[in-house]
Amino acid sequence: MSWFPERQTNRTWVHRMCERVLKSGPIPKHIAIIMDGNRRFAKKKSMDRAEGHLKGFDKLAETLEWCLNLGIREVTVYAFSIENFKRSKEEVDCLLELARQKFARLLEEKELIQKHEVCIHVLGNLSLLPRDLQELVADAVNLSKHNTRAVLNVCFAYTSRDEISTAIRELAEGVQMGMLKESDISEELLEKCLYTNKSADPDLLIRTSGEVRLSDFLLWQSSFSVLAFVKVLWPEFSIWHFYAAILHYQKNYDAIQSVKQSNRMNVDHQQRESDYQCVLKEVGKTLDHTNCQILVQQYAKDRQERVNKFLECIESKRDQFFDDVAKKRSMTSSS
C-alpha cells in the first residue's frame, strides 16, 4: 500500500458530516501515535507476525489520509523502538526488512510526496541501523526536506530516554567547548536539542491496544498533550476511533491550553530571573533599576546569540550524518 493516497477514498455523507462537526471545534495541529498491537493482531488472526506488521503499516497510510482530511498537518509515529532490538532475531530482521521495503516504496512515490508537499523526518539514533537502511532513510529525508505543507515524523531506533540523554551530552559538550555558559542551560534550551526541535509538541497522543503507558515515547514533548488510550489493536483502529480521539481532545482543550499558558509564563519568568542573577554575579554590586534593565537586556541578547550559534552547530552535525551516509555510498559504488 502507498504511504499517501493517490486519490481520495470514497467518503460517505456520514463521514463528511462528522468532519464538518469536528471542524467546528479546535482541531489538533500535531498528533502522535503509538501504533501498538500488530503482534497481537497477527496472533488473533492466526497469521505470521510479518503480516501483522504489514497490516499495521497499511493502517498508518489510511490514518494519514484521515488526518489530511481534517486539516491535521503534522503526525509523529512510533515505528521502531531501540527496545525492539531485544526481540528475537527473526522478528527484528522482519521489522528491518519491512522498513527497507517501505522506505524504498516511499522513494518510488516522489511525485506523490511533492504533490502532497509532505516533509519526512526520521527521528532516532539512526547510527544503530544497518548501512543500507540508513541510506534509504537519508534519501527519503533529503528528498522531502523542502516541503512545508505537512510533516510526517517517523520515530525509528528511538526512545525518549535516549533522546534526552543525547541532548544532555550535546549541552555538556557545548559548555566544554566554550560555546555555552552553564547558566545558558535551561528547560527551553534542552527542548531545542531534542530530535523534535523542528516541531511543536503534539496536541494529542493516541495509543492503541488498550495499554495505558507511553513506552518511552515523547516523554518530554507530551507533558501537555491530551492522551487518548484506545482499546483496539492498531490494525483494527477505525475512523470512528479516530473521530472519538479528536472529540476527546476537544473536550479537554480548554483545560490543557490553560495549563500550557501557565507553564509558558513560568518558563519565561525563570529565564528572566536567571538572566538577572547572572548580571548581578558578573557586576558584583547592586544596580539602580535603569542600569540593571539595560544590562539584563544586553545579557539576554548575548545569551540568545550563544544559544543560536550552538543550535546551528547541532543542526549542522545532524545534517552531516545524512551527508556522510550519502558520501560513503558514493565511495562504495565508485570502487
pLDDT along the chain (335 residues), means of 10: 62 91 97 96 92 90 91 96 93 91 86 85 94 91 89 96 97 96 95 95 97 96 97 96 98 96 94 92 73 90 97 91 77 63
Residues with Cβ within 8 Å of residue 308, at least 6 apart in sequence: none
310 alpha-carbon distance from chain centroid: 21
d(CA 245, CA 266): 30
What 8-state DSSP symbol labels residue 196?
Answer: T
- In the chain, count H helices and then E strands: 10, 6
Question: For the purposes of burial, counting CB atoms within 10 Å of the CB of 292, is it exposed (0-12), middle (13-18) or buried (19 or more)?
Answer: middle
Q: What is the pLDDT of residue 178?
A: 95
Answer whether 35's CB lies under 8 Å from 56's CB. Answer: yes
d(CA 136, CA 129): 11
What is the value of pTM for the model shown? 0.92
272 alpha-carbon distance from chain centroid: 29
Answer whether 149's CB lies under 8 Å from 67's CB. Answer: no
Phi, psi at residue 146, to the nearest 5°? -95, 0
Q: What is the pLDDT of residue 254?
A: 96
